Amino acid sequence: MFRYELIGTDGGARRGVFHTPRGPVRTPGFMPVGTLGTVKGLTIDQVAATGADMILGNTYHLRLRPGHETVAALGGLHKMCGWDGPILTDSGGFQVFSLGAINKVTEHAATFRSHIDGAKIELTPEHSIEIQQALGSDVAMVLDHVIALPAPMTQVEDALARSIRWAARCRVAADREDQALFAIVQGGLDRTLRQQCATELAAMSFEGYAVGGLSVGEPPEDMYTTTGFTTPHLPVDKPRYLMGVGTPRDLLENIARGIDLFDCVMPTRNGRNALAFTDEGPLKLRNAVHKLDTRPLMEDCPCLACRHSRGYLRHLFVAGEMLGPILLSHHNLMYYGRLMQATRDAIEAGEFEAFKNAKLAGWGHEPF
């Protein structure tokens, strides 16, 4: 049902395909985030046009609204959204810690109050799997205990050990042949803890492995270093997914360190906020400098925004027109999708290092 095919490597970078019952996922690949069953502001056809092979949904959000039984009654996530390609759902582990009204973690569960109606919810490994199976995603994530960094080593070790025990409980609870289960490696920024966690999870035979606990405020260089000493301890015949990452630079730096899949709200969230990604770095479109600029964001971009001028896009944002966020979200997802396509081609041609350096030079030293 699920098979990762390694087509070739170029240094630390991997070119592959993750085969799923709902179609192949080309890697390296970027997965747009569709938290509530929608990639905000875009129709599912517009998302498909950006080159995305797999999109994300979320257990925490969909459990709260409309509820996983409602999604099941509407035919499951694919039918409800009209996306017949692969869908990956996160387990809710991260959202409980980043969104949930202050929560309590015991060995049994992560308990939190809904940020919507205050209802008390007990997210156990078993309940997270139950929700993901009801949603019908193709890839489910184990429930993990995510902590904010920096944290005392004892706390990192405690959350790591609980995440491994919860992964084992998810493995036992997951009984849908047509749904893959990915494990999540924790361990903060510590080399020894990361290697121990990766090795222990690799022995438990999951269909894929995520690197979690990063992109939580640490400096980008610390993220790259951590990825770099974690991936060598993951199985080569399974996909590696770096959760919540990242900027275009983050994608290329982590692909160079053996990561295959990414998800991030950055292209869509920043698109809604008038920030456009281009080969010359990010553009803040509300800036007056764009007022009379008749050029598109990028000359060769096939997206819905690049049929218009930068001046028009600026006008839409300044006027508060809803078309602004829609067009810029489409451009940014198209930018990420085309970046991944060009990356796959560069790895196949054995030119990834030069490709990465050229892109980094074009982007300049913006924070992004």
Which stretches of the chain bind Zn ion, using CB under 5 A? 297, 301, 303, 305-306, 331
Site string for ligand AFQ, 167-206 (x = CB under 6 A): -----------------x----------------------
Strands 13-20, 3-10: pairing is antiparallel
Burial of 59 (0-12, 13-18, 19+ CB in 10 A): buried
Taking the mean position of all CA atoms in its chain, how far away is CA 259?
A: 12
Active site residues: 90, 263
Minimum distance, C-beta of residue 361 to ligand AFQ, in the bound complex (Å) = 26
Residue, CB closest to Zn ion: 301
Pick the stretch among 122-130, 213-221, 280-288, 353-361 that binds ligand AFQ (CB under 6 A).
Answer: 213-221
- Give the separation between CA 365 and CA 368, rounded to whole angstroms: 8
Count of C-beta atoms within a 10 Å radius of residue 242 = 28
Nearer to ligand AFQ, 56 or 334 (CB): 56
Can you say how many angstroms the Cα of residue 308 is from the centroid of all Cα atoms in its chain? 29
Q: Which does 184 bind (CB under 5 to 8 A by kind): ligand AFQ, Zn ion, none?
A: ligand AFQ
Shortest Å, Cβ 43 to Zn ion: 17
The smaller minimum CB distance to ligand AFQ, of residues 59 and 305, is found at 59
Find residue 105's DSSP bridge partners.
110
Q: Is 346 exposed, middle or buried (0-12, 13-18, 19+ CB in 10 A)?
A: buried
Among 187, 251, 263, 363, interactor with ligand AFQ by CB under 6 A: 263
71 contact, one of Zn ion, ligand AFQ, none, CB 5-8 Å limit per kind: none
Q: Return residues touching ligand AFQ (CB under 6 A).
A: 33, 35, 56, 58, 90-91, 93-94, 141, 144, 146, 184, 212-213, 215-216, 243-244, 263
